[in-house]
Homo-oligomer: A and B are copies of this chain.
Amino acid sequence: MANGRLTKGERTREALVAAAIDRFARSSYQRVALGDIARDAGVSPTAVYRYFEDKLALFVAAVDSDAEALVEFARARLDVGDGVPSLADLLDLMSEGLADAVIDHPLVSRVLAGDPTMPPRQVLDLPSLAALRVEIATLLEALQRRGAVRATLDPAVAALALETIVIDHLADLTTGGSGDADTPADDRWRAVVTLLRVALRP
């Protein structure tokens, strides 16, 4: 979201977040020093506290920013033409697009995987995810108006359910993977998407 309109303070905050994403993605939470992030961003160590209350606040901002990049990727994939993507587009994105994209986001991957050297995901409150959930609920409502999604479904509940199933799946992939020698991950996920299609279609 970097652009020329940002104030100097906003640019500094962004530089700190970018440096934090990089540092936290490569090391344990404990080992990352605020001073190193400050140096990477060209800011004095004490100046960091003008932007973030403490290390955890900077960590949450870094994870949220990394997740936001994934959400932007999802938005770009869904923005195909006239504004309302099809149910098939949504399921395609869930079934493969996101899994591929997560690989390029090592910080989100480590948090999803429940890396024991990171603060657990439950303590994080990510505005990017909350925004995505609202967008998916809005999309489901639009699809309901078109008769493409079952009318009896509560869009907010369905959006939360879809998000949960996808996040659980992504978390599972990052820990080495859904599936077993008996049934590979692809077969499993294809079955889930089939079930979701049945759930959503009128």
Interface: A180 (CB within 8 A): yes
- For this chain, the copies found in one complex come to 2
Q: CA A121 – CA B163 in complex, angstroms?
A: 24
Q: CA A179 – CA B150 in complex, angstroms?
A: 26
Interface set, chain A 153-202, CB cutoff 8 A to B: 153-154, 157-158, 160-165, 167-169, 171-172, 175-185, 187-189, 191-192, 194-196, 198-199
A interface SS class: helix
A156 — nearest CB in chain B belongs to which residue?
Answer: B191
Number of A residues, CB within 8 Å of B: 49
Task: Mark A residues whose CB is within 8 Å of B.
Answer: 113-114, 120-126, 129-130, 150, 152-154, 157-158, 160-165, 167-169, 171-172, 175-185, 187-189, 191-192, 194-196, 198-199
